Amino acid sequence: MKSKLLLIVLALLTLNTTLAATGLSPLPQQSQAALLSAEVLSRYHYKGMPLDDAASAKIFDNYLKSLDIDRLFFLQTDIDRFGNARTRLDDAILKEDLRIPFAIYNLYQQRITERIAFARSLLLRGFDFTQKENYQYARKNAAWPKSTEELNDLWRRRVKNDWLRLKLAGKDDKAIAETLNKRYDNFLNSMSKIKSDDVFQRFMSAYAMAIDPHTDYLGARASEDFDISMKLSLVGIGAVLQDKDEYTTIRELVAGGPAALSGKLKVGDRIVGVGQGNTRTPTDVTGWRIDDTVALIRGAEDTAVRLDVLPAEAGPDGKHRLISLVRKKISLDKQAAKKTIIEVKDGGATRHIGVITLPGFYQDFAAHQKGDKNFKSATRDVSRLLEEFKKAQVDSVLMDLRNNGGGSLDEAIELTGLFIDKGPVVLQRDSKGQVTVANDTNAGAVWNGPLGVLINRGSASASEIFTAAIQDYGRGVVIGETSFGKGTVQSVVNLDQLVKSDKPKYGELKMTIAQFFRINGGTTQLRGVTPDISLPAMIGEEDFGESSYDNALPWIQIKAADYTRAGDLTSIVPRLIAKHDQRVAGDKDFQYLREDIAELNDRRKKNAITLNEAERRNEREAQEVRVKLREKKLGAAIADGDSALQDDGLQANERNLDADLAIEKARKNAKDVLLDEAVHILSDEVALLKTNARLVSSALPKLN
């Protein structure tokens, strides 16, 4: 037994020293942060999972999945080589020795280099597109390749598919080879910029998410991005940037920001240098990671930043411009609540449905705590929009929470209060089993009229709290897909504050501390919120959502809260469903959507695409014929810029900026069939309420 343990230790040491000598290594503060995280997670996490060999195995699997989800880089022999580490990652954390996860990552980088070299060699040989063979594009459930020959064949099919896509898009062989070679260069360049912090972030996320899907570790950059997403503001120049051909390129200027107001910058300009103050020589940032460049551009409010800019129209050797800007607080209004009023014609009647799109439940916590009366808040923004709807005399309001992943629990509670009088909104149970009730304490509602909530599989957490409360109170009609199913509460623990560190060293933990429950006693955990009226689902529950995780908490029931329903929609919902079914049966757009979803699901099940050129051309031509036939039946083009949505075989960073922006515009302008049907459902409700006083008294007891 002792000799076996000695061999395991020697094997791990060999793996560590061989790879660490040529790759990335852990920093002392990272090992300390890992141990701190383990102490916090083991003691205070809602699930209370100890860090032992069983946990180590889960961390190991998560880590490999994060590196090589489609099993295209590691061989089975690599996995066997790591086998001894499978139950040693807990020891690595507790003993503050992270050489093993870094060794695994260094081998991963080595395998990437080998794969790219092999891919390049294929470009010189060419491909036979008359063969009958397929490419399996999703391999997360496949076995690890057993040999280099098997891995080579997987990559041959992968590169062949990339080549064929470009060929079908009209590129010749020379252009295809240049595009793919450049793609490989960009991939290797991005890998060369990976830092020790990135590896540590990935490993710690694998650890945290082994406990539950929504616990995570946040390094300094991740923590900053999380804060920005919650307060919807940052201090900078007001430009959306992207990495393109080793340049930090301006993709968009934020209206009202210093960059836009200066008139000196435009979309497509490249920032090649960044300096602090008006006189300091800018630091050359060509080839830098974009987050490093952004870190230099951001800074304290009312301070100057000096940019060395290569204009969009200039070549690589073109004349530069030096531009000085003063940093200001930038409000990220695109991610804030926004409104539209949609007109619905029904026979001789015209109804107006006010739609509020809410991407997240945001709140500037710091500004709120400081007593700033104008702190950014989802509830405050929605309240303002509701007042505007009342002035516009809309007939009904639809809260569009599709793809709203949640955010502040307080905002979910307060937002619910805009539509009910006062009372319980959500129940929380902590790790000790103690249940508390979170109430809306503000009397009265901002909007008492007809209400609908539109959700999809991407509606999670705070979205589900709000939607469930609206449904349980009988306050509004829930429309769409079953929601995500995240019924847990997270809190952010600052590890530096915990150990009273003066400098940011250890990062933060976003940790599950409680489970929330609907006021009816059920939980949204795992099962999500089931809509009153279902619309076609774009994504299967097995592919996305809480039920797709193997370590999700179970669904349970507790005692319901004491609450009084605000309305009763049980009589009206069946009538709305009947009208919905009748309408969509004759709606060509809706039927085409169903066809597209069915085709997409069929492709997912097949999980393979032919590599025969003739077959692919036939598929492409059949798709084009189908689009033209649909346009003929509809009497108009399906979407502005529809040709921009055709597969061009390119990745996002390979297109020129104009083409990329055209695709983005085309997607935004595409008809939103599900939103259109949702507003028609609310229009039907308004019509029923206007003709049936009994329904009004039951569905809207407090209608103005």
Encode pLDDT of 38-85 as tens digits. Answer: 999 999 999 888 999 999 999 999 999 999 999 999 999 999 999 889
Q: At 493, which amino acid appears?
A: V
The one catalytic residue among 461, 463, 483, 683:
461
Q: Which residues lie below 8 Å from residue 511, measured CB to CB, with a gap of 6+?
A: 40, 41, 44, 45, 208, 215, 490, 491, 492, 493
Q: Tens digits of per-residue pLDDT, 582-594?
A: 999 999 999 999 9
CA-nearest of 165, 78, 168 to 115 is 78
Nearest-10 crossing angle of helices 572-585, 673-691:
130
Q: Are strands 338-346 and 349-357 parallel, antiparallel or unpaired?
A: antiparallel
Distances (CA, A) of 577 to 35, 415, 475, 532: 55, 27, 17, 9
Q: Which domains does the chain have, with CATH numbers?
A: 2-211 (no CATH), 233-331 (2.30.42.10), 334-502+512-585+675-699 (3.90.226.10), 588-671 (no CATH)
Angle value at C-alpha 91, between 86 and 93, nearest 5 degrees: 105
The one catalytic residue among 486, 547, 579, 660:
486
Backbone phi and psi for residue 450, each to the nearest 5 degrees, phi listed first: -55, 145
Among the listed ranges 474-478, 523-527, 618-622, 632-636, which one has the minimum average pLDDT value?
632-636
Distance from C-alpha of 380 to C-alpha of 411, rounded to nearest angstrom = 9
* pLDDT over 90 at 231, yes or no: no
Answer yes or no: 461 catalytic.
yes
Residue 307's pLDDT band, with cuts at 50, 70 and 90, is: very high
- CB atoms under 10 Å from CB of 535, counted, come to 22
Residue 166's pLDDT band, with cuts at 50, 70 and 90, is: very high
Distance from C-alpha of 195 to C-alpha of 192, rounded to nearest angstrom = 8
The one catalytic residue among 472, 532, 660, 684:
472
Cβ proximity of 410 and 442 under 8 Å: no
Q: Which two tokens stand for residue 345?
A: 């014609």
Percent of the chain clearing pLDDT 90 (strictly above)? 70
Q: What is the mean pLDDT of residues 360-382?
A: 89
* pLDDT over 60 at 650, yes or no: yes
Residue 578's pLDDT band, with cuts at 50, 70 and 90, is: very high
Mean pLDDT (the chain) is 90
Q: Tens digits of per-residue pLDDT, 438-464?
A: 999 999 999 999 999 999 999 999 999
Residue 259's pLDDT band, with cuts at 50, 70 and 90, is: very high
Distance from C-alpha of 197 to C-alpha of 204, rounded to nearest angstrom = 10
Residue 255: its pLDDT value, please?
A: 87
Answer yes or no: 633 catalytic.
no
Residue 220: its pLDDT value, please?
A: 81
Cβ proximity of 179 and 12 under 8 Å: no
Residue 16: its pLDDT value, please?
A: 43
* pLDDT over 70 at 466, yes or no: yes
Among the listed ranges 179-193, 224-238, 303-317, 639-653, which one has the minimum average pLDDT value?
639-653
Cβ proximity of 413 and 379 under 8 Å: no
Cβ proximity of 446 and 383 under 8 Å: yes
Q: Which two tokens stand for residue 578?
A: 């009947």
Among the listed ranges 306-320, 488-502, 553-567, 647-661, which one has the minimum average pLDDT value?
647-661
3-state secondary structure of 600: helix
CA-nearest of 560, 536, 540, 559 to 548 is 540
Residue that the structure tokens 């909007």 belong to: 447
Q: What is the mean pLDDT of residues 160-185?
A: 95
